[in-house]
């Protein structure tokens, strides 16, 4: 009994180890592929990093106008003159200890400080909009690759089915030839058809493998082909009305938002440059010790702890036109940003109409492609029956087989085209 139990335990351990070494393949939906692509796309991660950096720039710009607090410690030694008086009159004692906190605030009395904050916030908004652009562009890439692989799988299935159909036709023609019902030329034609369809199946397998590799490189951080995908190619979202897409584009278009925020940033940059013409007020408050002893009280009992304050008004008088030059630079950038905004608005209208027309046409064509594939399958079935009855020629059967393969491949390509058209349209409108 013990030996039997021990043997059973070994088999259980081996089964667990085998299962651990050969886990089931990962099944991915489109959303899974998108999430994985976001974690691996260099361009997308670079855009997200730029957005994070821009956010920190905004934090630093806001902190620049707020009071800062620091604590300073220093020791000054000066050669004495035989007494407690130092030889260098710039210093206060032979031994001087400074340990004090400093609250500092610098205020530009013009629009410079506030403009810097607005510029940083606008730049952050631009970076966020560009990150959204990168996100939507990545979606298009993933959609094309994901559904391109599914279409390649469907074409492989179609090619294998066509090869089987050609094999059946070859068997049928050979049987009819042996019975004296058809000529040997029919068998030759069937053999040629089977050879063509077999080569097509091999080519389709190669295309499918390559499409899988392309998808794997896009969504996995390491080389991994052990995955399957959920085939929802024919479950694409419906195309909304054109007026609805126009409203969505006005609200959710990141290119337009980036152009608008760029104008805001350029305008704030002009005000920031003009702030160089205005005075700057600096205020400092010190509390601590500045004494010959590093102690709260001096030897004679006086309290060393104390405070002092200083205020400085810096008024710019002459700088050889440097400030005005910076103002002109900022104004040039502002003018360019306005031109780019106008171009972005025009481009949005053009792209929206182009992408919507592409989606609309591909949707309509998809319906006819589906009908054509169904009709081609029925035509092949009827033509094969007619051939068996001696009412059709081998050429008609071959033509029906070729038509079915072509129509099914066209339908798969049409489905990918519609999916891609929807993804392109959503780069302007967001999801709908």
196-227: pLDDT as tens digits:
999 999 999 999 999 999 999 999 988 888 89
pLDDT at 135 over 70: yes
Give the chain as a 3 state SS string.
CHHHHHHHHHHHHHHHHHHHHCCCCEEECHHHHHHHHHHHCHHHHHHHHHHHHHHHHHHHHHHHCCCEEEEEEEEEECCECCCCCECCCCCCCCEEEEEEEEEEEEEECCCHHHHHHHHHHHHHHHHHHHHHHHHHHHHHHHHHHHHHHHHHHHHHHHHHHHHHHHHHHHHHHHHHHHCCCCCHHHHHHHHHHHHHHHHHHHHHHHHHHHHHHHHHHHHCCCCCCCEEECCCCCCCCCCCCHHHHHHHHHHHCHHHHHHHHHHHHHHHHHHHHHHHHCCEEEEEEEEEEEECCCCCECCCCCECCEEEEEEEEECCCCCCCHHHHHHHHHHHHHHHHHHHHHHHHHHHHHHHHHHHHHHHHHHHHHHHHHHHHHHHHHHHHHHHHHHHCCCCCHHHHHHHHHHHHHHHHHHHHHHHHHHHHHHHHHHHHCCC
Q: Would you say 129 and 258 are in contact if contact means Cβ atoms under 8 Å apart? A: yes
* 114-277+338-429 belongs to CATH 1.10.3720.10: no
When mean pLDDT is compared across 11-15, 293-297, 425-429, the lowest value belongs to: 11-15
Q: Name the pLDDT band for 177 (thresholds 50, 70, 90).
A: confident
247-270: pLDDT as tens digits:
999 888 999 999 999 999 999 999
pLDDT at 352 over 60: yes
65-102: pLDDT as tens digits:
899 999 999 988 887 766 666 767 677 787 888 999 99
Top pLDDT among 298 and 12 is at: 298
Q: Give me the mean pLDDT over the 400-409 stretch.
A: 94
* Distant-in-sequence contacts of 38-43, Cβ < 8 A, 24+ apart: 38/135, 38/138, 39/221, 40/218, 40/219, 40/220, 40/221, 41/138, 41/218, 43/134, 43/137, 43/138
154-170: pLDDT as tens digits:
999 999 999 999 999 99
pLDDT at 361 over 70: yes
Residue 2: the pLDDT is 45
Q: Where are the domains of the chain?
A: 114-277+338-429
- Look up the pTM and report it: 0.78
Q: Would you say 128 and 20 are in contact if contact means Cβ atoms under 8 Å apart? A: no
54-66: pLDDT as tens digits:
999 999 999 988 9
Top pLDDT among 93 and 414 is at: 414
Residue 1: the pLDDT is 44
Sheet holding 280-291, edge to edge: 68-77, 95-108, 280-291, 306-314
Residue 64: the pLDDT is 87
Residue 280: the pLDDT is 92
2-17: pLDDT as tens digits:
444 444 455 444 445 4
């Amino acid at each position: 009994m013990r030996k039997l139990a021990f043997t059973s335990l070994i088999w259980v351990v081996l089964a667990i180890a085998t299962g651990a070494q050969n886990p089931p393949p990962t099944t991915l939906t489109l959303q899974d592929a998108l999430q994985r692509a976001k974690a691996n796309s260099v361009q997308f991660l670079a855009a997200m990093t730029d957005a994070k950096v821009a956010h920190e720039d905004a934090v630093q710009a806001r902190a620049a106008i707020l009071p800062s607090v620091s604590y300073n410690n220093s020791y000054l030694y000066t050669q004495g003159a035989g007494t407690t008086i130092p030889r260098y009159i710039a210093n206060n004692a032979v031994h001087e200890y400074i340990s004090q906190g400093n609250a500092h605030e610098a205020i530009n009395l013009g629009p410079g400080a506030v403009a810097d904050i607005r510029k940083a916030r606008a730049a952050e908004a631009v970076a966020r909009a560009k990150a959204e652009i990168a996100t939507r562009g990545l979606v298009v890439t993933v959609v094309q690759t994901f559904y391109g692989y599914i279409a390649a799988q469907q074409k492989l299935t179609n090619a294998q089915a066509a090869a089987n159909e050609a094999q059946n036709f070859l068997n049928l023609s050979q049987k009819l030839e042996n019975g004296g019902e058809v000529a040997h030329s029919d068998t030759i034609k069937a053999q040629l058809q089977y050879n063509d369809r077999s080569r097509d199946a091999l080519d389709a397998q190669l295309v499918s493998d390559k499409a899988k590799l392309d998808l794997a490189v896009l969504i996995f951080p390491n080389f991994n082909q052990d995955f399957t995908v959920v085939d929802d190619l024919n479950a694409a979202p419906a195309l909304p009305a054109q007026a609805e897409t126009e409203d969505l584009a006005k609200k959710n278009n990141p290119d337009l938002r980036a152009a608008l925020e760029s104008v805001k940033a350029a305008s704030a940059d002009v005000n920031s440059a003009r702030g160089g013409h205005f005075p700057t007020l600096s205020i400092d408050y010190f509390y601590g010790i500045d004494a010959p002893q590093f102690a709260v009280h001096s030897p004679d009992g006086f309290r060393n702890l104390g405070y002092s304050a200083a205020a400085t008004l810096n008024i710019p008088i002459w700088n050889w036109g440097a400030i005005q030059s910076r103002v002109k630079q900022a104004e040039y950038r502002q003018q360019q940003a306005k031109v780019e905004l106008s171009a972005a608005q025009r481009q949005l209208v053009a792209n929206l109409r182009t992408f919507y027309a592409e989606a609309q046409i591909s949707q309509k064509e998809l319906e006819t492609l589906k009908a054509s594939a169904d009709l081609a399958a029925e035509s092949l079935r009827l033509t094969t029956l007619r051939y068996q009855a001696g009412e059709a020629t081998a050429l008609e059967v071959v033509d029906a087989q070729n038509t079915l393969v072509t129509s099914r491949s066209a339908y798969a390509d049409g489905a990918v085209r519609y999916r891609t058209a929807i993804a392109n349209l959503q780069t302007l409108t967001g999801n709908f």
